[in-house]
Amino acid sequence: MTATVRTVTIAALVIVVAASVWAQGSKVDLTGKWLFDVQTDAGSGTPTITLKQDGEKLTGHYSGQLGEADLTGSTKGNDFTFSFSVDAQGMKIDITYKGTADSKDALKGSVSLGGLGQGTFTAKRQ
């Protein structure tokens, strides 16, 4: 390997490592009202979810096709998870959202509808 190729390779590696460190260190505050677009095995929906972030703790409220429910969760860096329970025709369903903040105003990830199905979501801050 020539000195020039070695220098370019090292420079590229430094940029990749620096970008990775920056991404891990940057945090997005999820506090706010979000409009979700959810696609699941059971259909689709557009719930509104209000989140409040306090450090790594998330609390909030779900309002959508499944009714109304308070939620709790956590966040670390740009990753988050939250869950809540709903009563659907006399059956308790535990819903869990796991995702990543793409930017300060956009989220994406997956949703689990207890044992009833899986799906994906995107969300935009309102």
Domains of the chain as residue ranges with CATH: 28-125 (2.40.128.120)
Pairwise CA distance, residues 5 & 46, whole Å: 51
DSSP 104-126: TTEEEEEEEETTS-EEEEEEEE-
Residue 37, both tokens: 């677009």
Percent of the chain with pLDDT over 90: 67
pLDDT of residue 22: 39
> Residue 12: what residue type?
A
Pairwise CA distance, residues 37 & 47, whole Å: 7
pLDDT of residue 1: 59
pTM comes to 0.78
**Residues 6 or more apart in contact with residue 46 via CB below 8 angstroms:** 35, 36, 37, 38, 64
DSSP 44-89: EE--EEEEEEETTEEEEEEEETTEEEEEEEEEETTEEEEEEEEEET
Mean pLDDT of the residues in the chain: 85
pLDDT of residue 122: 98
